[in-house]
Structure 1
């Protein structure tokens, strides 16, 4: 019983070691599972982070592409999305042959004038008249519509002696608007006088031109063609067989008040008070009767003439008295130019309170009527784009006129250069934000004011040819040198950087580095004093787009050795362990790196100490691998020995581990390959040692034994080093190192 009390369960003492072993195995298993779980969690987080970065990068790129697409669509205006409207044919093929210019003959002609203009500016000469330069293009085109367009632009912009500091304030001032109306009337009157002359001299037999040369005789001859013989309803006075009021009207239509006065003086007995009113009108600097006279004329018109059968008489009274502004006088003003001339004559600028709203027409009212109430469909703008452009431009709606003409592809170049002329004269109202539509309204502006997105206009225009004709695109971007985007970035620099990246014409545009380190000038040097800032901007853009080799060249041009070496380190790191082959990626990068190293050493250029040392270490490692792959194991061993990167004795392991902490990621990335190559070199030397002839004795044998011991010691040092460094190498690196080390024992 005593023995029974002392004894426990059967086999307890015998199983204790097994329990301890099981416990140790369980703990080891738990520890391994914890490590594996931590590794798996780290891997999962790394992949999630990489996916997130990739997604954000793709979103940024898509946003940029989306902006380009939207800019193109919005650049054509909202109507561009209406596929039902008539589309103007394009004179330029949508597909340009590779290596050929994307510019058509008209665009080339304009581009030549822009080059001349910019040359004068950058060389410090007196700034030429851009309008005259562009108008000279029209002369070579033999297109009357284009010639008239530039005559109109020249006439309407000839209003300022000094460029306005505040364009909006200047454009909306009464004085400026009055001047615009005077210039528009002058253009319409000169055009009509030329038209009458062409008509008369083209029909001399019917015109019966004779008498003293002048507007009166010209009008008489013109009426012989236009109104042959007496017409019903026009018998309210005659002069030499022609309707009196028709003669007065056409003298006014040709802009000759003296000729009209000549007619009035000859028949003054038929006109009553009209002669007095007309004399006052003709002598007024702004073509306006006094309030008293105007009220008398309007009263006479309402009582006596409103229902007159003579449309010319009604039209003349409405011109002189600026009355009955709702009457379009369709019998007389049967063409758009005539209607426009009549309405501009009726525009009032002062509000004396004596006129009722229905008898008063302001310029903003006329602008709204033409742009919004009537619009493009009323004027058949798609069939007659020049006419609608004229309607808008002559009513000082420059931005709307340019935006409309820009949408007609075959006329786009004309629109852009009209905008450039307005911009240089500081007459163009620009959008405050680059993201705005091509034509937009902004809060705080008068209701009829529109603004043009000038930056987008130029960028849309140059997009067609910037990849094939970067020099010409650069000329246009120079106009943006004083413009900034919403982030405050200079638009000239931004456009130049995008142009260089798009066209890849780095050497031509930005210059290039010669072998001696000097810089050959590029096209950009003519336009910018501080070319280094622009080159740095382009280099950064290239770097952000992953064009590292191009960025290296650009940073060299910008004299930024830190970035040059930093990017070269990034480029060299993935290829240094590869086998060199002619025309390979490694060979190209190696030649670039060696050229940089030689140039920097000869010129005493050095970057940041850490980046600099990494660069030269990577070059040395490249030499190491070249020797290794060529089978020159002893040379490779000597290179590695000089680099002191790896421990070649047990005593130097801790020192090398400590030094390893200071190496960059570009060096660490190659650690696995460096260790494997070094171990392979030791193993090769070991096999060669073992293959020495048998029977060696004495000192020679001791030397071989010492070398054998040294090689095995070096292999163990590499194994120890690989296990101590705080860096995760490729999964099978340690196994392969251990395998080769075991083969040496």
Structure 2
């Protein structure tokens, strides 16, 4: 510091000169200070690099040394002393700053950095400035560690969030299932009128996502409802089969029928499903059961089950078969009249022949029903009288119903022949289907017909002789002319109303006016009369009223009980127009009238029967659904079995996306622009199955199989879609119920399959062989479970799919997760020996069973790789090692020996650095489950070494180390300590090489253990 100060003796000899020089220097400084950069002048400050700053500092130091040629900074200390700052204080302050720790820290973190820093300081004498590089190296090192730490924490948060979402989703799903199961059991409380916010919540609930990412494709989801069915009606119809004993009994009986149906379908046999369901409904004593019994009888007659059963009984009588095999032999010898999906192609193709058959069968059913009613009424009146003919019964019926109590006829202008109301009796004979008796009545009273009616016996003969009850074209024209002339001339007040009805029925005259004046018709009478007017074919022999296509005019439907007069003045003016009255016109009339026109009587509602008799099977299913979901589903199954049910193309498709806010509403019945109705059959079945899918998964599978009942349609794409929906529903059932053994079967110890319900029904699911079944059901279900984060379900499903390699891969991942997350502070033995771990199956026991099973089966062994089996075995050994390590009295030497035998980490005193480096390079080649276990293995290894060193130093059991020392079995205590320290050193060297591939806290733990060593 002395070399930098001026000579005080020289200053005292030249005082005046010094004062002048000082004044001029101060003036120069003041003038120069004006040229200094200011913040307000807009000139920025200079930014120099570290190298430039170092060079400038070196220049300053060079000129301040003794012997320098010039010293431009020799007078600065006067200015500083004037401000109270001394150079000595500044020097002491600078010397008190310790810049060495920066270099020291760098040397401690980075190997070899301490010596390099010392050499650099000695080389240029700038130790403080030379430590900047070390400081930057430390910062870079810390940044790398921080980035790795942040990456690990981010991954941990993502994993925790994934687990939380899945647990929350499954909890919400379970809650919905419980609510759905208890909804019909708990009596709904009286709720006030919903407020706007309540409606908003309902809307959000409808559009909320159900369990899994795509709830719309899951027809078993409890999230959707049918928008075209009222909420009140839907709630009343939906019943839990477990709510009462009676309902449970009905559920079991109907489920048994569905099971028998599937058995017959699988064996290729015909099954009389309508007859069976009709018998079941007959035994119930409720109005709904009576209604369903009639409905099943209608479908039975339309399909021809009664004819087939009578033919079968006849064959049995002829063969004299009384054994149990008679039914099957008769069924086998029966002509191919009734079979599964027999009417599907004709019904979906809108064939006129099938529609005419429906009309004829429906009319015959009504005639038989009416004859039974007449017979029952006659039996009540006649008492024990002798049996009467059908004509006598009908005559008695006319007297009882058309006469008042005082003996007067209720209907005026009746025509009597031999004291018999001839036209009324003739009408009701035809109404009862007694066409032979009607013809006999006409033949026996030919003389009684008037002049204009003399041709009527000819018309009657032709009408009764025709199987379709239609007149030939020539006779139809004659009858139409007579009808037009007679009833135009005769007013409504003078004609016999039953004569008018008979002429209209036989000749199908004036179809624009289809009502019957002054004739009291019941609902059944009205329907029978309109069915008699319906014609589908255009040929003269079948449709007497058909003309050219240009002459056909549309007709409007009339009311069932219209009171308008067809014989009013001027009612028949104008030329006769040939018209067509088809089944579709009658269907439109029924729909326009609605259920209120036919369900006037609560004790005998008839709308369902009317819908079935007019061939509107889809509307019938929807109507039944509003009162009983169970009956609606089984009616739909029966109709689908014979192909009499149109299935909606949109079922489960893209337009049914439930989660989208703008998605169209899910409807039970769809109506096309042409007015053709169709039922969402898959969702109908799924809506019913979801109530008992958890309690009765076997029964649920039997019902879901019905969705594939879609063959013989004229839409191949629809068939493929229905099959895909059915198979997806089965997969959803497997995943939601987790009844893998019941549904998919199991694989025994020998490797042979024990089939479950789904595999037994693979033919009905359109899965031709076991390979297709495994791919479409088990394997796809396993993939879905894997996407949803359900690894334990994946193991079972992949095992059932015979994907043994994938099973081992999944098991190894779970074993690796378990071993990597092991907590050494608590014993692992009780955890490993328990039946379940964290609510799931014990993965350790499961892995042992699988390895044993695969080793015992050559087929399974051939389908698994040796590397997978080796990894699984190594993981099991590691878990056993961890269990022993956390036990109350671990054998540390044995644990180290087992660690050495595994070969995951260097665990020997006889190693070279090359071998350790090679072992570190092998870390990247390890299977991921094994690599995740290396950190815990290192901790166990270092813990054992530390404890053994402590025991040796304390003189505790020094002999037991001989088992690990190998050739040094007779070594001294110091030799054993040296070997343990070498093992610790090699372990830490290895850990340092792979520290960035491990959690940072593991490396800290190892460093702490090394300090103890």
Question: Is 1:438 aligned with 2:668?
Answer: yes
Report 1:11-410 matches (<5 A).
17=126, 20-21=129-130, 23-24=132-133, 27-28=136-137, 31=140, 35=144, 38=147, 42=151, 61=211, 64-65=214-215, 76=226, 78-81=228-231, 83=232, 96=243, 104-122=248-266, 124=267, 126-141=269-284, 144-158=290-304, 167=345, 172-204=350-382, 213-228=388-403, 229-231=407-409, 233-268=411-446, 269-271=448-450, 272-273=452-453, 274-289=456-471, 290=473, 291-300=476-485, 303-304=488-489, 307-308=492-493, 310-322=496-508, 323-329=510-516, 331-349=518-536, 350=538, 351-353=546-548, 356-358=553-555, 360-371=580-591, 373-380=592-599, 383=602, 387-409=606-628
Question: Is 1:608 aligned with 2:608?
Answer: no
Deviations 1:503-559 (A, max 9, x none): 333323333344454444434453235264444344444444444334323433433
Instruction: Count the aligned residue pairs.
Output: 726
Pick from 623, 628, 632: which aligns with 1:415?
A: 632
Report deviation, 1:91.
9.8
Distance 1:39 1:170, change over 3 A: closer
Deviations 1:111-152 (A, max 9, x none): 222323333443x36333333333332344465433322221
Deviations 1:316-341 (A, max 9, x none): 23222323444443753532212111
Report deviation, 1:184.
0.8
Pick from 631, 638, 645: which aligns with 2:897?
A: 638
Report deviation, 1:734.
1.3
Report deviation, 1:732.
1.7
Q: How far, CA to CA, are the matches of 2:810 and 2:1004 in structure 1? A: 33
Equivalent position of 2:49 in the other structure: none
Q: How far, CA to CA, are the matches of 1:199 and 1:515 in structure 2? A: 71
Report 1:292-691 matches (<5 A).
292-300=477-485, 303-304=488-489, 307-308=492-493, 310-322=496-508, 323-329=510-516, 331-349=518-536, 350=538, 351-353=546-548, 356-358=553-555, 360-371=580-591, 373-380=592-599, 383=602, 387-409=606-628, 412-435=629-652, 437-442=667-672, 447-481=674-708, 490-528=724-762, 530=770, 532-533=774-775, 534-576=777-819, 577-578=822-823, 579-581=828-830, 582-583=833-834, 585=836, 588-604=842-858, 605=861, 607-630=864-887, 631-648=890-907, 649-651=911-913, 652-691=915-954
Q: For the Cα contact (< 8 Å) 2:149–2:999, is it kept in 1? A: no
Q: For the Cα contact (< 8 Å) 2:942–2:1009, is it kept in 1? A: yes
Q: For the Cα contact (< 8 Å) 1:168–1:429, is it kept in 2? A: no
Q: For the Cα contact (< 8 Å) 1:430–1:454, is it kept in 2? A: yes
Q: For the Cα contact (< 8 Å) 1:393–1:401, is it kept in 2? A: yes
Report deviation, 1:190.
0.6
TM-score, scaled relative to structure 2:
0.64
- Which stretch of structure 1 is more off in the superposition, 580-589 or 340-349? 580-589
Deviations 1:339-373 (A, max 9, x none): 111111112333314665445422111112212x2
Q: Report SS of the residue matched to 1:451.
A: strand
Report deviation, 1:94.
7.0
Q: How far, CA to CA, are the matches of 2:993 and 2:953 in structure 1? A: 30
Distance 1:257 1:545, change over 3 A: same
Bigger Rg, which one: 2
- Which stretch of structure 1 is more off in the superposition, 173-182 or 343-352? 343-352
Q: For the Cα contact (< 8 Å) 1:429–1:452, is it kept in 2? A: yes
Q: How far, CA to CA, are the matches of 2:519 and 2:227 in structure 1? A: 35
Q: How far, CA to CA, are the matches of 2:904 and 2:449 in structure 1? A: 115
Q: How far, CA to CA, are the matches of 1:549 and 1:559 in structure 2? A: 15
Equivalent position of 2:31 in the other structure: none
TM-score, scaled relative to structure 1:
0.85
- Which stretch of structure 1 is more off in the superposition, 703-712 or 129-138? 129-138
- Which stretch of structure 1 is more off in the superposition, 2-11 or 189-198? 2-11
Report deviation, 1:737.
0.7
**Please, which runs of 5 or more residues in structure 1 have no aligned partner?**
none
- Which stretch of structure 1 is more off in the superposition, 191-200 or 556-565? 556-565
Q: For the Cα contact (< 8 Å) 2:240–2:691, is it kept in 1? A: no
Coordinate RMSD, CA, aligned:
4.0
Q: For the Cα contact (< 8 Å) 2:881–2:898, is it kept in 1? A: yes
**Please, which runs of 5 or more residues in structure 2 have no aligned partner?**
1-5, 7-62, 75-86, 96-124, 170-208, 306-336, 539-545, 556-578, 657-666, 711-717, 763-768, 960-967
Q: How far, CA to CA, are the matches of 2:430 and 2:158 in structure 1? A: 78
Distance 1:32 1:721, change over 3 A: closer
Q: Report SS of the residue matched to 1:183.
A: helix
Report 1:722-733 matches (<5 A).
722-725=991-994, 727-733=996-1002
